[in-house]
Amino acid sequence: MKNAYIYQTSIGEIGIVENGTAITHLYFNRETAPQDATIKETALLKEAGRQLKDYLAGNRKSFDLLLAPDGTEFQQRVWQALQQIPCGETRSYGEIAKSIGQPKAARAVGLANNRNPILIFIPCHRVVGANGKLIGYAGGLEAKQYLLNLER
């Protein structure tokens, strides 16, 4: 059973979804919310919402939540690498590819980054183009810039 709850934050409405034991999704847009989730604030969602609000207030640099993103083995490796990027720092797609032992897979890393179902908690906003420019973000480039500025 999936439960979801929408939180009002400094960057707008953010929905968080859990499967009873772990966080599975975070979304910025109600249209992308899982249709099979019950809208109910569980203890796990309440804790995730609290940590998210603390982060957005500048009072938290990392999260202490069990995450369970659904993806391929390659995607899982990329998402693990994203979680190793320290708050306040960025990496390029190529740097992530090298860190997972596949230096020629920068485009595939970009696709995995794009498929990240747990934005912010798995910090794909910390990945930028090789030239340092902001490239794509499911929450929009304005939100990505906001999050990067917040972390600096």
pLDDT of residue 137: 83
Does CATH place domain 2-56 in 3.30.160?
A: yes
pLDDT of residue 4: 95
CATH of domain 73-151: 1.10.10.10
According to DSSP, the residues that pair with 17 across neighbouring strands are 4, 25
DSSP 32: G
Give ranges for CATH 1.10.10.10 in the chain: 73-151
Q: Out of 45, 124, 127, 147, which one is annotated catalytic?
A: 124
Give ranges for CATH 3.30.160 in the chain: 2-56
Spatial distance between the Cα atoms of 116 and 124, rounded to a whole number of angstroms: 7
Q: Calculate the CA 29 to chain-centre distance.
A: 14
pLDDT in tens, the chain (152 residues): 899 999 999 999 999 999 999 999 999 877 667 788 889 999 999 999 999 999 999 999 999 999 999 999 999 999 999 999 999 999 999 999 999 999 999 999 999 999 999 999 999 999 998 888 888 887 888 989 999 999 99
pLDDT of residue 55: 97
87 is annotated as an active-site residue = no
According to DSSP, the residues that pair with 118 across neighbouring strands are 26
Spatial distance between the Cα atoms of 67 and 108, rounded to a whole number of angstroms: 22
Pairing of strands 2-9, 12-18: antiparallel
Q: What contacts 80, CB < 8 A, 6 or more positions away?
A: none
Residue reference for tokens 């970009």: 110
Token pair recorded at residue 51: 């940590």
SS3 of 28, please? coil
